[in-house]
Structure 1
Amino acid sequence: MILTQCAVCATELGLSLGKKCGRCSTRYCGAACQVQHWKEGGHDQLCRKIKKAGGAEQYNANQKYTNAVAAAAEACAEDTKGQTCYICTQALHWKTKEGLVRMCACRGTAGFAHVSCLAEQAKILVAEAVENNLGAKTKNARWHRWYTCSLCEQHYHGVVYCALGWACWKTYVGRPETDSFRQCAMSVLGSGLSDADHLEDALSVREAELAMRRRLGDRESNILAVQSNLAATYRSLGRFEEALQMKRDGYTGHLNLYGTEHRETLIEANNYAASLLDLQRFAEAKTLLRKTMPVSRRVLGESDDTTLHMRLTYAMALYKDSTATLDDLNEAVNTLEEIERIARRVFGGAHPDVANIEKVLQDARAVLRARETGLAEALADMRV
């Protein structure tokens, strides 16, 4: 996680409380912990090294990045055997000696790369856009390279996303807090941590980012985006009531700001519906999705990931409801079979979204079979 705690006693400091080492900026809750760290915690040996690396936050980011790259390469080792990086054309990175990763929607021999190469490519593309003043749309597209594959145009996932999150954060962490790229890098890091299921670390980053943006008086759209990410982390941690309240407010905020047909509004509609499902409020979820799902299919298309996620949530609202009719269960299974085919074609069979749809489809089929068996038995009993 980013450094929001005292280095000695782990007291929560947010982004602004406590004091820092005058040389390396290591953070403490007060003078007592700072003295203890120097005398007993080994800081006297590390202080100069941390300063040379760029300060405590940079030093921490560098270490976390190195560990995350190693974890990503290890997780992808079986998939990447005998392959080479499509950027540098080498199997092992010439400098870091790191292995290859993939974890996007590329298939066959496409998409293999080193995290270092992906990070350097994203860094260069963003810098060129700024230097040549290429406009907001181009800058935004290039920024997406920090977490989106340039070949298949799909997001990285799992530990690869996490490694790229740390790569992004270590690239921009040395900039002023008001720098937009530093702020966006914090968001990428939070998403990467969350995607790799480092949920407590992701929560720390999300909460720190929201506090920072509020303190700096950021735009409403940016604050809404961070609130949405924070709500998703609450949900992943099982804090469903907190997630629901924030998702409801986020959906209303996006609706007022962007209107009914904007991608962000549709994403928030699905997120709100998913939170309703967590609390078994199926009727409300179905009502919301029946209103917003046709809009997503028309505006974004059948193959868009937002549309697929929305239809998945709707199918779950159908078959998980204890009051579901046989028609509801059949509709749920038919919907899941259709989106499974689309997702497999778009993302490939190894993508976690495809695996999740397959699991939900198995559950829905089991519920349908149980209902059909029960009806058959009931009819048999009636005939006796």
Structure 2
Amino acid sequence: MILTQCAVCATELGLTLGKKCGRCSTRYCGPECQVQHWKEGGHDQICKKIKKAGGAEQYNADKKCAEAVAVAVEACAEDTKGQTCYICTQALHWKTKEGLVRMCACRGTAGFAHVSCLAEQAKILCDEAEERNLFGTERGNSRWDRWNKCSLCEQKYHGVVVCALGWACWKTYVARNVGRPQADMIRCLAMGVLGIGLYSVGHSEDALSVQEAQYPMMKRLGAPEQELLTVQCNLASTYLALGRDEDCLRVRRDVYSGRLKLLGDEHLGTLSAAHNYTSALHLLKRYEEAKAFTRKVIPVARRVLGESHEITLKMRWCYAEVLHKANGATLDDNREAAATLEEVARTARRVLGGAHPFVGMIERALPFSRALLRSSETSRGA
């Protein structure tokens, strides 16, 4: 976790409250907890070690990153057996001795890599973008995407690999000794990557803490409106994971309205926000609203992004779901829903690969869709 709590009593400190150890910057709510940690918590034994590693935040980031990488490597072990990294061409990383991961849409022998190699590749691209003042442009943003998107298949990583890359990103940009101030836009963006990583493995409370710290910092630094909307979008997903459904819907509605006004209805960011808003309506069982909204935005997504884009596929999946579930669903509705899901499943498997979570979700929904159609046909004598 980003260190926003007292190391002894876990009191929430945000980014500025409390005090720090003068040597290693471990955070406390006050002198009493600091003394207790030194005398009883073992801090006297590791304080110098933490300082040598770059301070408490860096020490924590290094430790969490190593743990997340180990989890990702283990989860990918069967898939990566006998393979080598497409970046360094080795099976084991030369320095960290870590194994390989994949979890993108690459097939066959393509796409295997070490998290450390992916992180180094992303850092080089982002350093160049920062030098050339590209951040805030499409070119700069595409380079930042390397922190969570495969450079070969151009699809986002998923699951535990996203978490490992999130910690790798935060580890890369957290240290004060790399010349960055505490409030720095690149550090803020790294917080966003970490928040997504934590969310991707179900650590929603931790993700919320990161995102709630990130938003006011970015606002204070004068981040562009589009970046602030992205942070709100991620925050809405975390609200949803924590059962705060109405908060999620409210924020997703605001994000869609903001991007529509800022970017227009054909921009990728607007279409992504439209999908997120539709998903929230679906989960809150506001099926008629979701059906009307998706009928309006799906033709735009198909025209602008194409039939195979992940956002188009997800919009069509959501549309099929609400067609089945809306009050008074007709036989034609159920036929359209079943046919849509069949087509989306085929395309998603081809584009994203069978291991992608979205593909699994669609294929689990197919038997239910077919059963609903059969029941509807039988009851109406079709």
Q: Same fold (TM over 0.5)?
A: yes
2:360 to 339, 355, 359: 355
Alpha-carbon offset, residue 372 of structure 1: 2.7
| Matches for 1:155-234 after TM superposition, within 5 Å | 155-174=156-175, 175-234=180-239
Q: Which residue of 1 aligns with 2:297?
A: 292
Q: How far off its partner does 1:132 sit?
A: 5.4
Within a 5 Å distance, the mapping from 1:308-327 to structure 2 comes to 308-327=313-332
For residue 254 of structure 1, what is the aligned residue in structure 2?
259
Distance of aligned partners of 1:129 and 1:280 in 2 relative to their CA distance in 1, 3 Å threshold? closer
Aligned CA distance change for structure 1 residues 121 and 321 (closer, same or farther; 3 Å): same
* In structure 2, C-alpha distance between the alignment counterparts of 1:84 and 1:270, rounded to whole Å: 37
- Greater mean deviation of Cα atoms: 8-17 or 102-111: 8-17
Q: Is the 8 A contact 2:208 2:235 kept in 1?
A: yes
Matched position secondary structure for 1:308: helix
In 2, the alpha carbon distance for the partners of 1:366 and 1:190 equals: 39
Normalising by structure 1, what TM-score? Answer: 0.94
Question: Do 2:185 and 2:218's aligned partners in 1 also have CA atoms closer than 8 Å?
Answer: no
Match of 1:304 in 2: 309
Any idea what SS the aligned residue of 1:293 has? helix
Is contact 1:177–1:183 with CA below 8 Å preserved after alignment?
A: no
Among candidates 324, 335, 339, match of residue 334 of structure 1: 339
Aligned pairs, how many?
377
Structure 1 residue matching 2:156: 3-state secondary structure? coil
Return the alpha-carbon distance in structure 1 between the equivalents of residues 241 and 329 of structure 2.
26
Identity of matched residues, %: 67
Q: CA deviation at 1:196?
A: 1.9
- Return the TM-score normalized by structure 2: 0.94
Query: Which residue matches 1:382?
Result: none
Letter in 1 for 2:371: A
Between the aligned partners of 1:281 and 1:84, the Cα distance in structure 2 is 48
Question: 8 Å contact 2:7–2:27 — kept in the other structure?
Answer: yes
**CA-CA distance at 1:133 after TM superposition:** 5.7
Task: Show structure 1 runs of 5+ residues with no match.
Answer: 380-384
Which AA in structure 2 matches 1:61?
A
Q: Name the residue aligned to 2:7.
A: 7
1-structure distance, mates of 2:227, 2:138: 16
Task: Name the SS of the counterpart of 1:221 in structure 2.
Answer: helix
Structure 1 partner of 2:271: 266
Distance in 1 (alpha carbons) for counterparts of 2:264 and 2:86: 41
Contact 2:147–2:165 under 8 Å retained in 1 = yes
Matched residue of 1:355: which SS? Answer: helix
**Backbone CA RMSD of aligned residues:** 1.6
| Counterpart-to-counterpart distance in 2, 1:283 and 1:355 | 26
2:87 corresponds to 1:87 = yes
Aligned equivalent of 2:118: 118
Q: Are 2:156 and 1:151 aligned? A: no
Cα deviation digits, residues 23-68 of structure 1 (max 9, x gap): 1111111111111111111111111111111111111100000000
How far is the alpha carbon of 1:374 from its aligned partner? 3.2
Judge which range, 324-333 or 135-144, deviates more: 135-144
Asked if structure 2 preserves the Cα contact closer than 8 Å seen for 1:6 and 1:28, the reply is yes
Give 2:32's aligned residue.
Answer: 32
Structure 1 outlier segments of 4+, above 6 Å: none
**Contact 2:28–2:34 (CA under 8 A) maintained in structure 1:** yes
CA distance in 1, matches of 2:131, 2:54: 24
Structure 2: segments with no counterpart, 5+ residues: none
- Aligned to 1:107, the other structure's residue is in SS state coil
- Structure 1 counterpart of 2:107, which letter? R
**Structure 2 residue identity aligned to 1:194:** Y
1:228-285 per-position Cα deviation (integer Å, ceiling 9, x unaligned): 1100111122221111111111111111111211111111111111111111110111
Correspondence 1:279 to 2:284: yes
Q: What is the CA–CA distance in structure 2 between the aligned matches of 1:375 and 1:276, rounded to whole Å? A: 29
1:113 aligns to what SS in structure 2?
coil
**What is the CA-CA distance between 1:16 and the residue it aligns to?**
1.5
Q: What CA deviation, in whole Å up to 9, does each residue of 1:65-108 have, x standing for no partner?
A: 00000000000000011111111111111221111110000000
Identify the residue that residue 138 of structure 1 maps to in structure 2: 139
Q: Which amino acid aligns with 1:355?
A: G
Displacement after TM superposition at 1:373 (Å): 3.3
Q: Look up the equivalent residue of 2:188 and give its one-letter code.
A: Q
The code of the aligned residue for 1:152 comes to C
Higher mean C-alpha deviation, range 209-218 or range 283-292: 209-218
Shift of 1:214: 2.9
Instruction: Supply the AA of the counterpart residue of 1:89.
Output: T
Measure, in 2, the Cα distance between the counterparts of 1:100 and 1:77: 7
CA distance in 2, matches of 1:348, 1:194: 22
Contact 1:157 1:196 in 2 (8 A): no
Aligned equivalents of 2:199 and 2:351: distance in 1?
Answer: 23
Q: 1:177 to 1:324 in 2, by over 3 A?
A: farther
* In structure 2, C-alpha distance between the alignment counterparts of 1:182 and 1:24, rounded to whole Å: 20
Do the aligned residues in 1 keep the contact of 2:321 with 2:337 (CA within 8 Å)?
yes
Q: Residues 366 and 15 (structure 1 numbering): CA distance in 2 closer, same or farther, change over 3 Å?
A: farther
Query: What is the match of residue 368 of structure 1?
Result: 373
Q: Are residues 1:74 and 2:96 paired?
A: no
Equivalent in the alignment of 1:98:
98
User: Who is 2:43 aligned against?
Assistant: 43
Say whether the 8 Å CA contact 1:15–1:212 is kept in structure 2. no
Q: Structure 2 CA distance, aligned partners of 1:73 and 1:41?
A: 32
